[in-house]
Amino acid sequence: KEYSKEEILQYAEANNVRYVRLQFTDLLGIVKNVEIPVDQLPKALNNRMMFDGSSIQGFVRIEESDMYLAPDLSTWLIFPWETPQGKVARLICDVYQPDGTPFPGDPRSVLKRVYARAQDMGFSAFNVGPEPEFFLFKLDEKGKPTQDLNDEGGYFDWAPVDLGENCRRDIVVTLENMGFEIEASHHEVAPGQHEIDFRYANAVEAADNIATFRLVVKTVARQHGLHATFMPKPLYGINGSGMHTHLSLFRDHQNAFYDPDDELGLSETARFFLAGVLEHARGFTAICNPTVNSYKRLVPGYEAPSYIAWSGKNRSPLVRVPAARGQSTRVEVRSPDPSCNPYLAIASLLAAGLDGIERQLELPPPVNRNIYMMTESEKEEAGIRSLPANLSDALDALMRDEVLVEALGHHVLLHFIEAKRIEWNMFRTQVTEWEREQYLTLY
């Protein structure tokens, strides 16, 4: 909903809002905020709030650190929970440089730039429907997360096995109070694991929603004495948490992926888009699966993809085309996980698909067999490549992908790769308990 500045000031006054959080995200998708007392709100609404960007991950050097926050008025929201000091509201902001141009390191502006290209190509929306999964762990007496899951439930289990139910329902109610349209919520396959699905939204709004969703889940879980984590694979031997992402392009409010005359009900646009997603899958993996831990999820045996293929029938490949047609025609990319920066992930998926449309890439045939049962030579014959096996390979693939390099921009790419190389090298040189168990007595 679009609000005017006057309306926002009125709402703040009428609802006794005491503080306003000016929210943005850093390069790694971590939500940052500057909190202002409500009497500073008029100044903030005129884009006059300055902050020092030099200590924000992936932002800037000290000598160029002044940044301005420009609130997006459509994101005005009063948090439904009370604090001892009264009500708190938030506005999601774009980050600007002192000269008034968008800051190239702001992930939200990266997504806006890629989305503008979709608009130039005649599309009126890029719809994104995420299915984020997360685990609930118990807290200890000191309030620190333990490794004890909060229940022993399984897929679609019912209370009382599913002790997460009250917490999950409370999360759903809170999200609904904040304007989310929840489509489903259920216990996932692993113990302590849950999924909440909310309705798709247009590119930037969808990314805002994912950022807000993660914040709300963590906040409400705390109130139940639990720790919610979006870490992709918190425990060895059980499923990790993914964030399947459903995608479609609309033209004049009509689904541009749908063609009733096609044998599969898919338009040329859908085929080109899907071909682009497959073409750039190795490249966008570093963005959609950005942690060392992400690659512990992308292994066979736990319902996560590790090969690049699509299917309309089978749920296991990288991309599935769900059976629904008409306005619900969409492709589901199954590799992203909820540790990603949602702005950069959606930007890279869109850039991949748009490249397919621009170059009219040919869609390879669907793979309806179980890829894990195919031999190496069968896979090679069918042209099935695998996703990068670890963060290092994924970073190499990203740097070689010119379309994604251009879409993300040099500032983001440079800082992202630098931060992630450090992360990889730290991980790579660790000596783990597993290694000592394997080798200490053997050698």
Catalytic residue set = 52, 131, 133, 188, 195, 244, 315, 332, 334
Please list the residues that pair with 251 across neighbouring strands.
254
Q: Name residue 307's amino acid.
A: Y
Picked from Mg ion, ligand ADP, none, the partner binding residue 183 (CB below 5 to 8 A depending on kind) is ligand ADP
255: amino acid identity, one letter: N
Compute CA distances 301 → 371, 372, 380, whole Å.
12, 9, 21
Least Å from the CB of residue 247 to ligand ADP: 6
Least Å distance, CB 333 to Mg ion, is: 10
264 binds, among Mg ion, ligand ADP, none (CB under 5 to 8 A by kind): none
180 contacts 209 by C-beta, under 8 angstroms: yes
Residue span 236-265 as binding mask against Mg ion, x where in contact by CB under 5 A, dash where not:
--------x---------------------
Q: Is 157 in the site for Mg ion (CB under 5 A)?
A: no
**Where does 331-422 show beta strands of DSSP type E?**
331-333
Mark the segment that binds Mg ion (CB under 5 A) among 64-72, 104-112, 125-133, 392-400. 125-133
Question: What φ, ψ does residue 352 adopt, rounded to 5°?
Answer: -60, -50
For residue 131, state whether it binds Mg ion (rule: CB under 5 A). yes
- What amino acid is encoded at 426 in this protein? M
In angstroms, rounded to a whole number, what is the distance separating the alpha carbons of residues 274 and 330? 10
- Is residue 26 within the footprint of Mg ion (CB under 5 A)? no
Which does residue 205 touch among Mg ion, ligand ADP, none (CB within 5 to 8 A, set by kind)? none
Q: Residue 32 touches which of ligand ADP, Mg ion, none (CB < 5 to 8 A by kind)?
A: none
- Decide if residue 197 touches Mg ion (CB under 5 A): yes
Q: Is 76 exposed, middle or buried (0-12, 13-18, 19+ CB in 10 A)?
A: buried
Phi, psi of 425 (to 5 degrees): -65, -35
Applying CB under 5 A, among 26, 94, 106, 195 the residue interacting with Mg ion is 195
* In the complex, minimum distance from the CB of residue 356 to ligand ADP, in angstroms, rounded to a whole number: 17
Of 105 and 338, nearer to Mg ion (C-beta) is 338
Choose among 362, 259, 364, 256: nearest CA to 318. 364
Residue 328 interacting partner from ligand ADP, Mg ion, none (CB closer than 5 to 8 Å by kind):
ligand ADP
By CB atoms closer than 10 A (0-12, 13-18, 19+), residue 65 is middle
Closer of 131 and 355 to ligand ADP (Cβ): 131
- 3 or 302: CB nearest Mg ion: 302
Q: Residue numbers of the site for ligand ADP (CB under 6 A)?
A: 127, 129, 131, 183-184, 197, 199-200, 244, 246-248, 255, 322, 327-328, 330, 332
Nearer to Mg ion, 60 or 175 (CB): 175
Residue 351 to residue 69: CA distance in whole angstroms:
26
**Residue 137, binding choice from Mg ion, ligand ADP, none, Cβ under 5 to 8 Å by partner class:** none
Contact 49, 69 (CB under 8 A): yes
Handedness of CA 157, 159, 163, 169 (dihedral sign): positive
Q: Which residues bind Mg ion (CB under 5 A)?
A: 131, 195, 197, 244
